[in-house]
Amino acid sequence: MHSLDVARFREVVGHFATGVVVITASTPEGPVGFTCQTFGSLSINPILISFAARTASTSWPRMRPTGTLAVNILASHQEALARVFATSADDKFDGFSWSPGTSGAPLLGDALATLDRAFPDALKISAATGTGLDLLLRRCCEVLAARIRRHHFRIPQHRADLVSLLHRDAKVIATSYDGNDVLVTAVVPPPVAGRLAMFEEL
């Protein structure tokens, strides 16, 4: 899957406030996976995830060349599975149900939610070993730069509702008055910026 519906992505990662996932992949030698507690959603636009593989991991070096992976968000009753996949054993999948996803990566049975081949760049940017870390940082900076750009709005005084919206949902930097207009400079989330686009001064 090279495109991912944002609403569906929100729904899936919404199952993960904090907890444990198992990262899996299919290799020529068979299925491989490891338990990971440092998984998260970095961004919706562009869609980015992150996870950390231990430098000493024996699983990650075998998974990385495959170019695909799956993220299995575990439910509370899957503690035993999480403990097994936290080891360096070669037979981690024995005794646990799983099926291949569209990418071929193993999807664990009874997982609370799964992400399968959702992130083409994931293998380039997500290892804590340092491989691709510069790309991860650059992509994160691009996302943050887009989100912290200051917007300048000229809002008619009779639209006090929009001024209130900015104070509630954005970070207002400065406010002044020019005749019958309110001039507001603010750092604004994309949804709010879109709503106020017609009032923005470029």
Residue-by-residue pLDDT tens, the chain, 202 positions: 344 566 666 666 665 555 789 999 999 999 999 998 887 776 666 666 777 777 778 888 888 888 788 888 888 788 899 999 999 888 999 989 999 988 889 999 888 888 876 445 544 444 444 444 455 455 555 555 555 568 899 999 999 999 999 988 888 889 999 999 999 998 887 778 888 999 998 7
Q: Is 110 domain-assigned?
A: yes
Q: Is residue 34 classed exposed, middle or buried when 0-12, 13-18 and 19+ CB atoms within 10 A define those classes?
A: buried
Do 189 and 105 sit in the same domain of this protein? no
What do you get for the CA distance between the two ends of the chain, in Å? Answer: 37
Do 69 and 164 sit in the same domain of this protein? no
Q: Is 45 domain-assigned?
A: yes
Q: Are 51 and 36 in contact (CB under 8 A)?
A: yes
Do 98 and 179 sit in the same domain of this protein? no
Do 139 and 183 sit in the same domain of this protein? no
Residue entry with tokens 């917007």: 151
The pTM score is: 0.54
Do 113 and 165 sit in the same domain of this protein? no
Do 115 and 171 sit in the same domain of this protein? no
Q: Is 1 domain-assigned?
A: no
Rounded to whole angstroms, how far apart are CA atoms 144 and 137?
A: 10
Q: Are 88 and 58 in contact (CB under 8 A)?
A: yes
Do 55 and 79 sit in the same domain of this protein? yes
| Angle, CA of 1, 13 and 43, to the nearest 5° | 75
Q: Which of 118, 144, 170 marks a domain boundary?
A: 144
